[in-house]
């Protein structure tokens, strides 16, 4: 099990939210998915446990989970939002625009930049699941063409 049942219940209660059967099913579904799970998959998986579950409930639950830092949401730009159980150490993702592959990068790479932003603008960055687009190592090797020409 990726999450401790008591843990999320307490997080919710402490934040003033109620612990419901639906929310349990939903957070289980996120865990079951492993890494990044698109909402559709969370919904499908949760529906198997509770066939009356509504999509709105999943959306609302996931948004709330994000607010209390139980899960992180990432928009990879393909039209769907992906969810993932929040790990103690936050991380970010690189998404290749060419082949669509994803890889994780460590938060430490960004911390220096965040600190600089804070120094220069007094702004504390709280983005804990950034998605950076670009081109992965493999795709770079094979592409001699300009990006625009290869796109379609």
Partner DNA sequence: CCGTTTATTGCCAACATTGGCAGGAAGCGC
Partner DNA sequence: GCGCTTCCTGCCAATGTTGGCAATAAACGG
In the complex, the residues that contact DNA under the rule CB under 7 A are: 13, 16-23, 39-40, 50, 52-57, 59-61, 63-64, 79-81
Q: Which helix (H) or strand (E) holds 112?
A: helix 108-121
CB of 42 to DNA, least distance (A): 9
DSSP letters of 18-47?
A: ---HHHHHHHHHHHHT-S-EEHHHHHHHHH
Q: In the stretch 64-103, what mask flags binding to a copy of itself with x, by CB under 8 A?
A: ---xx------x------------------x-xx-----x
- Closest by Cα among 20, 7, 1 to 70: 7
H/E stretch holding 13: helix 5-14
The option from a copy of itself, DNA, none interacting with 68 (CB < 5 to 8 A, set by class) reads a copy of itself
Altogether, the residues listed in the chain come to a count of 152
Which residues lie near a copy of itself (CB under 8 A)? 15, 67-68, 75, 94, 96-97, 103, 105, 109-110, 112-114, 116-117, 120-127, 130, 132-137, 140, 147-148, 151
């Amino acid at each position: 099990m990726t999450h401790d049942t008591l843990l999320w219940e307490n997080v919710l209660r402490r934040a003033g939210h109620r612990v419901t059967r639906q929310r349990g099913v939903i957070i289980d579904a996120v865990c079951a998915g492993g890494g990044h799970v698109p909402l559709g998959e969370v919904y499908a998986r949760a529906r198997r446990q509770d066939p009356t579950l509504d999509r709105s409930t999943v959306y609302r639950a996931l948004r709330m989970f994000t607010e209390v830092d139980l899960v992180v949401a990432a928009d990879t730009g393909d039209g769907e939002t992906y969810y993932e159980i929040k790990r103690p150490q936050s991380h970010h993702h690189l998404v290749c625009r060419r082949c669509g592959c994803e890889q994780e990068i460590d938060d430490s790479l960004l911390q220096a930049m965040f600190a600089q932003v804070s120094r220069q603008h007094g702004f504390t960055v709280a983005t804990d699941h950034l998605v950076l687009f670009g081109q992965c190592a493999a795709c770079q090797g094979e592409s001699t063409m300009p990006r625009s020409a290869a796109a379609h």
